[in-house]
Amino acid sequence: MDKLWLKNYPPEIPAEIHVGTGDDLVGLLEHSFVSYPEKPSFACMGRTLSYAALDKLSAAFGAWLQHESGLAPGARVAIMLPNVLQYPVTMFGALRAGMVVVNVNPLYTASELRHQLADSGAEAIVVLENFAGVVEKAIAGTTVRTVIVTGMGDLLGGLKPLLVNFVVRRIRKMVPAYELPGHLRLGTILAAGRRQSLSPARPGRDEIAFLQYTGGTTGPSKGAMLTHGSVYANVLQMSCLTDPYTTPGEEVVITALPLYHIYALVVNCMCFVRIGGLNVLIPNPRDLPGFVKELSRWKFTAFFGVNTLYNALLHDPGFLRLDFSSLKLAGGGGAAVQSAVATRWHELTGHLLQEGYGLTECSPVVTMNLKSQTEVYTGSVGVPLPSTEISIRDDDGGELPLGEPGELCVRGPQVMKGYWRREEATAAVFHTDGFLRTGDIATVDERGYVRIVDRAKDMILVSGFNVYPCEVEDVVTRYPGVLEAACIGVPDDKSGERVKVFVVRRPGSAADAEEIVAFCREHLTGYKVPKQVEFRDELPKTNVGKILRRELRDEQPGASAAP
């Protein structure tokens, strides 16, 4: 496909990025440590680390890994932490030591954790003590030999660690009892590491930096091999779009999405570390009052989130009173940004909510709406990033004409190396010409803007007509009494499937099913109109807030268990 989108790039955005042979994530970190030593790097729970402090702490952890852990370069180190200061310290330390980081969701069950540890071959794990009991249940039969435990308050400085850890353990009782014989405390390791010297790794572009596990929606989760080159490239690609609006050493980005997720890891963490920015870490964004209180303390300049997070904040009275005068950038991804949310965000802040699209296998960003656009809401996920190629293909791999829906395929320097130890799965997801199959149905218009129609597996077939849940959900959430909606197909004897929506009402709303269906009839073709409306207090979501249609489908009578 011709790069139609390049004509929409403003002059300051290049068509291509240039990654040198020596460009890697370790070099990126070292450049920031040298360039911004006194600037703040990460803040959490009242403590802020300068880049100089982050340099020393991560170097101590890396030196311990190199000299005292018994791990060889390339060993996999699992990190099972929420958004606390320990995450960047250990993650950066592992990369600087030449190790591979395996990011782990702290909310995993023991069976989910066991699969990921066994599959990755991780030899060490860093875990918040709140979740150490899960590690205890999962560790048998894996290659993990070193367990490093840390408390919520361990890096907060002064007397605060004692106070915070006491409250978490004794008052809130958030640390279940666990037995992990021989486990080490992070504080002890950092003290030992300070007595050693780090020999910073010099990884090649093709060396693995992260084993980033997919969600496992189509079977057991697989580890995407994201290399130093692929992640570094995506940082540069994203920076081409954001650099014109940022000032090195002065930006403050709110990081509410978990850093163990590829979205926040690259867009928040890596991109803003590159320019000496400050990441304000939010350990628990579900605590909306606490989250908003923390936001009130900062003149934040950037905010990245998912639609459900923005939607929740835009219905919080405290959030509506915040000062947005410093805001420069706001981005949405992970799931479709709905028009009502984008419009309310613009009305409140005066800034566009720039929707983008990506996936783990692409490190992760593929497309993004441009800040220079004039539309408040385009309904698209924007244009491909520099050095990115896309192709819309049919089931046989043939390219489709403009405007025709088909599978979105991607080629570019940000694409993964493959799936860890899964040669067949890797072969299945790549076309012979190197384009990655995303599994998402999309269209491209004559300007090069990409519109995600839906996930192929979520498409509903009503009497032979395709119904895309995102379209239905967008209409339903425009109804004044609706807070959230999820759309699925359920079996129907006459039409094959019928459309069903699950709705969460706004507080105080008395919206009923008939009103919602009538509203849909005004905006949707007949076969797309929901035949069933079910009200819920909440909808099932992933750890980053993406609504899980799969769980709703599995609940329906006659549904088979998810593979």
Q: What is the pLDDT of residues 186-220, one digit of tens each?
A: 999 999 999 999 999 999 999 999 999 985 434 57
Both tokens of 60, joined, read: 């101590």
471 and 350 both lie in a single domain: no
Q: What is the pLDDT of residues 46-56, one digit of tens each?
A: 999 999 999 99
Q: For residue 366, which of 416, 305, 307, 308 has the smallest C-alpha distance? A: 416
84 belongs to a structural domain:
yes
Residue 558 has pLDDT above 80, yes or no: no
Residue 395 has pLDDT above 70, yes or no: yes
CATH number of the domain that 518 lies in? 3.30.300.30
Write down the pLDDT at residue 335: 78
332 and 465 both lie in a single domain: no
331 and 473 both lie in a single domain: no
In this prediction, residue 560 has a pLDDT band, given cuts at 50, 70 and 90, of very low
162 belongs to a structural domain:
yes
d(CA 168, CA 431): 50
Percentage with pLDDT > 90 across the chain? 85
Write down the pLDDT at residue 243: 96
Residue 351 has pLDDT above 50, yes or no: yes
Domain that holds residue 542: 459-555
CATH number of the domain that 191 lies in? 3.40.50.12780
d(CA 161, CA 167): 10
Domain boundary among 342, 357, 372: 357
Write down the pLDDT at residue 470: 86
Classify each residue of 431-452 as buried b or exposed e, where b means 16 or more C-beta atoms within 10 Å of its C-beta. eeeebbbbbbbbbbeeebbbbb
Averaged pLDDT, 355-381: 94
Averaged pLDDT, 374-398: 95
Q: What is the pLDDT of residues 279-328, one digit of tens each?
A: 999 999 989 999 999 999 999 999 999 888 999 999 999 999 999 999 99
Contact 154, 86 (CB under 8 A): yes
Across the beta sheet with 252-255, the strand order is 47-50, 40-44, 278-281, 252-255, 302-305, 329-332, 354-358, 365-368, 383-384
Map residue 337 onto helix, strand or coil.
coil
| C-alpha atoms less than 13 angstroms from C-alpha of 327 in its C-beta half-sphere | 21
Write down the pLDDT at residue 455: 72
**DSSP category for residue 430:** B
Q: For residue 210, which of 129, 276, 120 has the smallest C-alpha distance? A: 120
Mean pLDDT of the chain: 94
Residue 45 has pLDDT above 60, yes or no: yes
> Phi and psi of 510, rounded to 5°?
-115, 25
Averaged pLDDT, 83-92: 98
**DSSP category for residue 336:** P
Q: What is the pLDDT of residues 444-492, one digit of tens each?
A: 999 999 999 877 678 888 876 778 888 899 999 999 999 999 999 999 8
274 belongs to a structural domain:
yes
Rg (CA), the chain: 23
Residue 498 has pLDDT above 60, yes or no: yes
Pairing of strands 76-80, 460-462: unpaired
Please give the C-alpha separations between residue 297 and each of 198, 277, 309, in angstroms, as whole numbers: 36, 17, 19
10 belongs to a structural domain:
no
Write down the pLDDT at residue 494: 80
96 and 238 both lie in a single domain: yes
Domain boundary among 336, 357, 378: 357
Domain boundary among 324, 357, 390: 357
Q: Which residues on adjacent β-strands are paired with residue 210?
A: 101, 226
Write down the pLDDT at residue 235: 98
Write down the pLDDT at residue 562: 37
Write down the pLDDT at residue 280: 98
Both tokens of 374, joined, read: 């004039």
Write down the pLDDT at residue 215: 58
320 and 465 both lie in a single domain: no
Render 198-212 in DSSP notation, one character per residue.
Answer: -------TTSEEEEE
Classify each residue of 361-385 as buried b or exposed e, where b means 16 or more C-beta atoms within 10 Å of its C-beta. bbbbbbbbbbbebeeebbbbbbbbb
In this prediction, residue 221 has a pLDDT band, given cuts at 50, 70 and 90, of confident
Q: What is the pLDDT of residues 92-127, one digit of tens each?
A: 999 999 999 999 999 888 988 999 999 999 999 999
What's the structural domain count of the chain? 2
Averaged pLDDT, 33-62: 98
Write down the pLDDT at residue 495: 80
Residue 316 carries which side chain, given as an amino acid letter?
D
d(CA 497, CA 520): 18
Given phi > 0 = left and psi -120 to 50 = alpha, else beta, which region is 216?
left
Contact 231, 25 (CB under 8 A): yes
Per DSSP, helices labelled H in 284-351 are 288-295, 307-313, 317-320, 339-349
Percentage with pLDDT > 70 across the chain? 98
Q: What is the pLDDT of residues 510-552, one digit of tens each?
A: 999 999 999 999 988 888 999 999 999 999 998 888 899 989 9
364 belongs to a structural domain:
no
- Other C-beta atoms closer than 10 Å to the C-beta of 111 total 11
pTM of the shown model: 0.87
Residue 367 has pLDDT above 60, yes or no: yes
Write down the pLDDT at residue 11: 95
Q: Nearest-5° angle of CA 375, CA 311, CA 85?
A: 105
544 belongs to a structural domain:
yes
282 belongs to a structural domain:
yes
Q: Nearest-5° angle of CA 116, CA 121, CA 125?
A: 70
224's enclosing H/E stretch is strand 223-227
430 belongs to a structural domain:
no
